[in-house]
Amino acid sequence: LKKVQEKQRSLAQQRAEASVKLKDLADTRTELASKKKEVQSKLGAAQKLLNTLTAQEKAALATQDRQRATRADERVGLGTTKAASGRAAAAFAAAQSVIGSPYAYAHSGPSTFDCSGLTSWAYAQADVTIPRTSQAQADAGTRIYSQSDLQVGDLVIFYGDQHHVGLYAGNGQVLHAPHTGAFVRNESMANMPFQFGVRI
């Protein structure tokens, strides 16, 4: 009877803890829904503003963004990290040749890219075929979990769901196609949650 009573107390405590966690989860969900609406509202306003621009103004804006990306790349010191292999060096050189190219979802070059489109295109220029998506590329070679072991041309996987990929550029930098509205560029890996590298 004593054991049953102890079990009942334990279950009651667990139930109370679960209720608190459920309430926290509901609060978080409500807050996220509110923030999502706010972001969607801002995106809608930005799109309306963009729609009011003339073709000439849009072209001028794109040119400014491309110049900014190029200037940022010129300021970044990539250090002297060696390439992982000859094919990695060739892939990295190919990706460098398209710095400033615009991001376009589901594009694999040669003039517009999404993140995995850039990496698969770059390796194709080195006569190496890798899968098309970042999740598939995550399993395309040997995984490297320490950033200090990365070498130029290694694939770098970001985010828990592995939805973003770039090429290691040296000195803690990644060469990648970031997102809609951006251009192929070098950027600090510290700006995104690093998961692991992949050596092809």
Answer yes or no: is pLDDT of 143 > 70: yes
pLDDT of residue 47: 81
Element (DSSP H or E) covering residue 87: helix 86-96
Strand, helix or coil for residue 179: coil
pLDDT band at 194; cut points 50, 70, 90: very high
38-81 per-position pLDDT tens digit: 888 888 888 888 788 888 887 777 777 666 655 555 445 455 56
Q: Is 26 left (phi over 0), alpha (psi -120 to 50) or beta?
A: alpha
144-193 per-position pLDDT tens digit: 999 999 999 999 999 999 999 999 999 999 999 999 889 999 999 999 99
Strand, helix or coil for residue 90: helix
What are the structural domains of the chain? 81-199 (3.90.1720.10)
pLDDT of residue 39: 84
CB 132 within 8 A of CB 108: yes
Find the catalytic residue in 107, 163, 164, 179: 164
176 catalytic residue (yes or no)? yes
Kindly report the pTM of this predicted structure.
0.64
163 catalytic residue (yes or no)? no
115 catalytic residue (yes or no)? yes
Residue 57: CB atoms within 10 Å? 11
pLDDT of residue 111: 92
Find the catalytic residue in 107, 115, 163, 179: 115
Find the catalytic residue in 107, 163, 176, 179: 176
Q: Which of 9-13, 33-37, 54-58, 187-191 has the lowest mean pLDDT?
A: 54-58
